[in-house]
Amino acid sequence: MQYTQWKNVSGNASQQQTDIESTDSNDYLMVRSVFSGVVKKVVSKNFQGGHISCVFGGAEIDLSQADMSGQILLKLEALFGGIKLIVPPHWAIQNEIEGVFHGVDDKRRFNPDASINPGKVLVLKGSAVFGGIEIKSY
Protein backbone atom coordinates (compact mmCIF):
# COMPACT_ATOMS: atom_id res chain seq x y z
CA MET A 1 0.00 0.00 0.00
CA GLN A 2 2.88 2.38 0.67
CA TYR A 3 3.96 2.16 -2.97
CA THR A 4 0.45 2.89 -4.23
CA GLN A 5 0.14 5.94 -1.99
CA TRP A 6 3.55 7.22 -3.11
CA LYS A 7 2.69 6.64 -6.75
CA ASN A 8 -0.60 8.53 -6.30
CA VAL A 9 1.17 11.56 -4.87
CA SER A 10 4.43 11.52 -6.80
CA GLY A 11 3.78 9.59 -10.01
CA ASN A 12 4.49 11.09 -13.38
CA ALA A 13 1.75 12.83 -15.34
CA SER A 14 0.69 9.72 -17.24
CA GLN A 15 0.29 7.76 -14.00
CA GLN A 16 -1.75 10.53 -12.42
CA GLN A 17 -4.22 10.60 -15.29
CA THR A 18 -5.16 6.93 -15.01
CA ASP A 19 -7.10 5.36 -12.18
CA ILE A 20 -5.41 2.80 -9.99
CA GLU A 21 -7.66 -0.26 -9.97
CA SER A 22 -7.44 -3.09 -7.47
CA THR A 23 -9.34 -5.68 -5.48
CA ASP A 24 -8.95 -5.66 -1.72
CA SER A 25 -9.76 -8.53 0.66
CA ASN A 26 -8.49 -6.72 3.78
CA ASP A 27 -11.00 -6.09 6.54
CA TYR A 28 -9.95 -2.43 6.94
CA LEU A 29 -9.92 -0.07 3.95
CA MET A 30 -7.37 2.72 3.61
CA VAL A 31 -7.49 4.87 0.45
CA ARG A 32 -5.69 8.13 -0.35
CA SER A 33 -6.09 9.94 -3.62
CA VAL A 34 -4.20 13.17 -4.27
CA PHE A 35 -4.53 14.60 -7.80
CA SER A 36 -5.40 11.09 -8.99
CA GLY A 37 -8.09 8.44 -9.04
CA VAL A 38 -8.54 5.13 -7.26
CA VAL A 39 -10.97 2.34 -8.19
CA LYS A 40 -11.18 -0.40 -5.58
CA LYS A 41 -13.40 -3.45 -5.15
CA VAL A 42 -13.63 -4.69 -1.55
CA VAL A 43 -14.46 -8.38 -1.13
CA SER A 44 -13.88 -8.82 2.63
CA LYS A 45 -16.56 -10.89 4.38
CA ASN A 46 -15.63 -9.25 7.70
CA PHE A 47 -15.45 -5.59 6.64
CA GLN A 48 -14.46 -3.38 9.58
CA GLY A 49 -14.65 0.09 8.01
CA GLY A 50 -11.85 2.38 6.99
CA HIS A 51 -10.72 5.81 5.86
CA ILE A 52 -11.01 7.34 2.39
CA SER A 53 -9.32 10.67 1.67
CA CYS A 54 -9.51 12.47 -1.69
CA VAL A 55 -7.77 15.79 -2.28
CA PHE A 56 -8.27 17.12 -5.82
CA GLY A 57 -8.88 13.49 -6.74
CA GLY A 58 -11.49 10.81 -6.72
CA ALA A 59 -12.23 7.33 -5.46
CA GLU A 60 -14.75 4.72 -6.53
CA ILE A 61 -15.14 2.07 -3.83
CA ASP A 62 -17.26 -0.99 -4.61
CA LEU A 63 -18.46 -2.70 -1.42
CA SER A 64 -21.19 -4.69 -3.18
CA GLN A 65 -19.38 -8.01 -2.57
CA ALA A 66 -18.31 -7.17 0.99
CA ASP A 67 -20.13 -8.22 4.14
CA MET A 68 -20.16 -6.92 7.69
CA SER A 69 -22.02 -7.25 10.94
CA GLY A 70 -23.04 -4.60 13.42
CA GLN A 71 -22.29 -0.91 13.03
CA ILE A 72 -19.17 -0.04 11.03
CA LEU A 73 -17.52 3.39 10.70
CA LEU A 74 -16.21 4.62 7.35
CA LYS A 75 -14.43 7.97 7.58
CA LEU A 76 -14.63 10.05 4.40
CA GLU A 77 -12.74 13.23 3.50
CA ALA A 78 -13.31 14.95 0.16
CA LEU A 79 -11.47 18.23 -0.43
CA PHE A 80 -12.14 19.44 -3.97
CA GLY A 81 -12.66 15.77 -4.79
CA GLY A 82 -15.29 13.10 -5.03
CA ILE A 83 -16.06 9.71 -3.55
CA LYS A 84 -18.43 7.16 -5.05
CA LEU A 85 -19.53 4.30 -2.80
CA ILE A 86 -21.31 1.23 -4.14
CA VAL A 87 -22.93 -0.63 -1.25
CA PRO A 88 -25.10 -3.75 -0.94
CA PRO A 89 -28.80 -2.81 -1.10
CA HIS A 90 -29.59 -4.38 2.29
CA TRP A 91 -27.10 -2.24 4.26
CA ALA A 92 -28.47 0.70 6.25
CA ILE A 93 -26.57 3.96 5.75
CA GLN A 94 -26.20 6.57 8.50
CA ASN A 95 -24.93 9.84 7.03
CA GLU A 96 -22.99 12.09 9.42
CA ILE A 97 -20.89 13.96 6.83
CA GLU A 98 -20.28 17.65 7.54
CA GLY A 99 -19.00 20.17 5.07
CA VAL A 100 -18.97 23.40 3.15
CA PHE A 101 -20.26 23.65 -0.42
CA HIS A 102 -20.61 19.90 -0.60
CA GLY A 103 -23.13 17.27 -1.52
CA VAL A 104 -23.95 13.80 -0.28
CA ASP A 105 -26.21 12.11 -2.80
CA ASP A 106 -27.86 8.80 -1.90
CA LYS A 107 -28.82 7.40 -5.31
CA ARG A 108 -29.87 3.96 -4.10
CA ARG A 109 -33.17 2.93 -5.61
CA PHE A 110 -36.04 2.52 -3.20
CA ASN A 111 -37.34 -1.02 -3.41
CA PRO A 112 -40.31 -1.76 -1.13
CA ASP A 113 -39.67 -5.51 -1.52
CA ALA A 114 -36.05 -5.29 -0.37
CA SER A 115 -35.51 -5.27 3.35
CA ILE A 116 -32.81 -3.23 5.05
CA ASN A 117 -30.93 -5.29 7.60
CA PRO A 118 -30.82 -3.26 10.86
CA GLY A 119 -27.86 -5.41 11.93
CA LYS A 120 -25.70 -3.98 9.11
CA VAL A 121 -25.23 -0.23 9.49
CA LEU A 122 -22.54 1.70 7.63
CA VAL A 123 -21.89 4.99 9.44
CA LEU A 124 -20.37 7.68 7.20
CA LYS A 125 -18.46 10.33 9.17
CA GLY A 126 -16.09 12.97 7.96
CA SER A 127 -16.09 16.10 5.88
CA ALA A 128 -16.49 17.36 2.36
CA VAL A 129 -15.28 20.80 1.32
CA PHE A 130 -16.11 21.70 -2.28
CA GLY A 131 -16.48 17.95 -2.75
CA GLY A 132 -19.12 15.35 -3.28
CA ILE A 133 -20.04 11.88 -2.08
CA GLU A 134 -22.34 9.58 -4.03
CA ILE A 135 -23.89 6.37 -2.66
CA LYS A 136 -25.26 3.72 -5.04
CA SER A 137 -26.48 0.12 -5.01
CA TYR A 138 -26.96 -2.34 -7.86
- CA trace torsion 66, 22, 137, 60 (10° rounding): 130
Cross-strand partners of 31:
52
Residue-level pLDDT at 11: 39
Specify the DSSP class assigned to residue 81.
-
Sheet holding 70-79, edge to edge: 29-34, 50-55, 70-79, 117-129, 91-100
Number of domains making up the chain: 1
Q: The domain containing residue 57 runs over which residues?
A: 2-136
Residue-level pLDDT at 113: 61
Residue-level pLDDT at 76: 98
- Closest C-alpha to 49, from 64, 62, 68, 33: 68
Residue-level pLDDT at 104: 93
Residue-level pLDDT at 86: 97
What does the pLDDT profile of the chain (138 residues) look like in tens digits? 333 443 344 333 333 444 567 887 889 999 999 999 999 999 999 999 999 999 999 999 999 999 999 999 999 999 999 999 999 988 999 999 999 999 999 998 776 666 777 889 999 999 999 999 999 998
